[in-house]
Chain A
Amino acid sequence: AQRVTQPEKLLSVFKGAPVELKCNYSYSGSPELFWYVQYSRQRLQLLLRHISRESIKGFTADLNKGETSFHLKKPFAQEEDSAMYYCALTSQTSGSRLTFGEGTQLTVNP
């Protein structure tokens, strides 16, 4: 079975501070990992995906298979980063269903 855990429900930082949102997963095969974001009163949208190895809005995430983690990082948080962040997993064998973590509400204070 596949499982995603985000240990922090709430995370609060000041503008300009580094931010790290934690995500751990359990899956015995080769997972594909995503970060989705939901800004206030907006829909869930993809932020970044592991396979693209991209940086979006200054965010990056590295898949660490040894630690089974996919933490989301940004060196200098901005107020507009305040949102709900969901880590999600899918895999070749699970079809295309997304398994989500609980979500972390990030608040960036001025």
Chain B
Amino acid sequence: EPEVTQTPSHQVTQMGQEVILRCVPISNHLYFYWYRQILGQKVEFLVSFYNNEISEKSEIFDDQFSVERPDGSNFTLKIRSTKLEDSAMYFCASTFSGGPYNEQFFGPGTRLTVL
């Protein structure tokens, strides 16, 4: 059964460094998402992406964040200058069609630790 994959599983970085988190959505899916979960807190929506552009973003998704689908299979989240408070689990998700009824398929997550 196809699955969403994410790399790396764990990323450690120094504050101020740039990181790129990678996701490979399920191949025929068209809508892509990033969520994050700070330890002990809720899973929070960051951004949704469709047709090579951002469809929606949360207030968390500020100018230091960007997303890209560089090659038709990968979907990346870049954090330009990491802060300590960016330490979290980052989940990628995908779905075939948008709209509120559809199951989102989640990746296993990337744990980002900012030192």
Contact = CB atoms under 8 A, between A and B. Distances in A.
Interface residues of A, number: 24
Interface size class of B (residues with CB under 8 A): 20 to 34
A96 interface: yes
B99 A100 contact: no
A92 B108 contact: no
Interface string A9-48: 0000000000000000000000010101000001111100
A43 B42 contact: no
Interface in A78-99: 86, 90-92, 94-99
Contacts of A102: 41-42
Nearest to A44: B106
Interface string B28-47: 00010101000001111100
Nearest to A99: B45
Given A44-B91, A97-B56, A91 B45 contact: no
Interface of A: 32, 34, 36, 42-46, 49, 51, 86, 90-92, 94-103
